Structure 1
Amino acid sequence: MQTYTLTDALNKHSEVFDKAAIEPVLLTKQSQPSHVIMSAKSYEKLINRLKELEDMVLVQTAEAALSQSKMVGTEVFTSTMMQLAETGFQEWNDPEEDIYK
């Protein structure tokens, strides 16, 4: 990456833009980076790559969450629910609550 001071960029603007067409150009103000100039094509490639990396991170996060989750089968679920119903609703055992008599 080529670096120019802001003053050099003003004096050599044609050269700066020619370089920016090939690769990003860093502009500095008092030796501190302040701006980057790049072509629209380079910017588009940068943004597309950023989106790809974000998608990869999301996929990795989802895969990690899935691998750490526990899947419960229907038999285990039904058995657990029946146990909860039997212990949670003791009034079902009262003779006056028997709807099948």
Structure 2
Amino acid sequence: MLRYLPFLLVLAVWIYAFIDVLNTPEKEVRHLPKVVWVIIVLLFGEVLLGPIAWFVTGKKRAPAGGGSRRGGWVAPDDNPDFLKGLNEDRRDDS
């Protein structure tokens, strides 16, 4: 069973990359048209060149941490409105 593990891992990455290409909106695809990325992932998937190329250069990715949070979810301890409300609650209790 262990000898099939590398094949199964390559197959899983290949399928994940293929589905990711198909589900990515056209405006988020970089460098090449989406159809070309599908062909690259399918043709070079067995040696992982296609999927790796897609993950590295094909899709616009959000910056990890430190990015702007406009309109996004903010943790309570980073939310000034939440913290202000806590201070008001503390004053009301006193």
- Higher radius of gyration, 1 or 2: 1
Fold similarity call, TM over 0.5? no
Under a length normalisation based on structure 2, what TM-score does the superposition of the two structures give?
0.32
* Structure of greater relative contact order (alpha carbons < 8 Å, 6+ residues apart): 2
* Higher share of residues assigned strand: 1
Under a length normalisation based on structure 1, what TM-score does the superposition of the two structures give?
0.30
